[in-house]
Amino acid sequence: MLIVSHNLVNHDFPIPKDAIFRINLAWISNLEILKEILEKHKNDDIFLDLPKNRTKPPNNRYSMKELEPIIKSHTNIKYLAISNVNSSGDLSTLQEYIPDNIIIVPKIESPKGVENINEITKTLGSEKIIMLDHDDLYSSMLKSNDNPENFQVYIKKLVDFCNNNNITLLRTIGVMFGDTEKRVSEYVK
């Protein structure tokens, strides 16, 4: 499974044929822009990424009540990632808004999320996918004064759990840097 950022199209990168187009709502400054992107990519499978409890910029926030009609009217949205999932309870309040055809993808970004991975994945449907944010996991560890040496322990625990339970684990593979970004307001409000 290859998921590519919607930011690539701002730089005229072609989207690989079998890639899934990821729209990170943290980077979407209003829902009209989201609708425009979805319309432009109506023939692509969409991986919508909802930042919940995000503290780093950019930090646009949308409720599931706001997103529900958009999600229901765009059947090409196949996946919905939810940030900062630490327990199954973090997903239960959102599930009433999400149609059955959408695969919920919890994003694991803390040691607590890693420790509760069995409970979290039990709430998922038949296709089980989770996402690991390495950077946020490490930041969460530092904030809670966890020993940095445990970073590899948490990752190994998550990888082993996914391998042993036939769960797809999505991990970041590199990032893109450039000198053309001009949207300062997307970072600081």
Q: Render pLDDT for 28-82 as a digit per residue (tens, 0 to 9).
A: 888 999 999 999 989 889 999 988 765 665 566 788 889 999 999 999 999 999 9
pLDDT above 60 for 186:
no
Average pLDDT along the chain = 87
Per the DSSP assignment, residues forming a β-bridge with 3 are 20
Exposure string over 45-74, b if 16+ CB within 10 A, otherwise e: ebbbbbbbebeeebebebebeebeeebeeb
Kindly state the tokens that stand for 46: 């969409």
How far apart are the C-alpha atoms of 5 and 18, rounded to whole Å?
14
Question: What is the value of pTM for the model shown?
Answer: 0.87
| Strand 129-132 versus strand 168-171 pairing type | parallel
pLDDT, mean of residues 116-142: 93
139, containing H or E segment: helix 134-143
Q: What is the DSSP letter of 166?
A: T
pLDDT above 50 for 168:
yes
Exposure string over 111-150, b if 16+ CB within 10 A, otherwise e: bebbbbbeebbebbeeebbbbbbeebbbebbeeeebeeee
Neighbours of 31 (CB within 10 A): 15
pLDDT, mean of residues 165-173: 91
pLDDT above 50 for 19:
yes
pLDDT above 70 for 189:
no
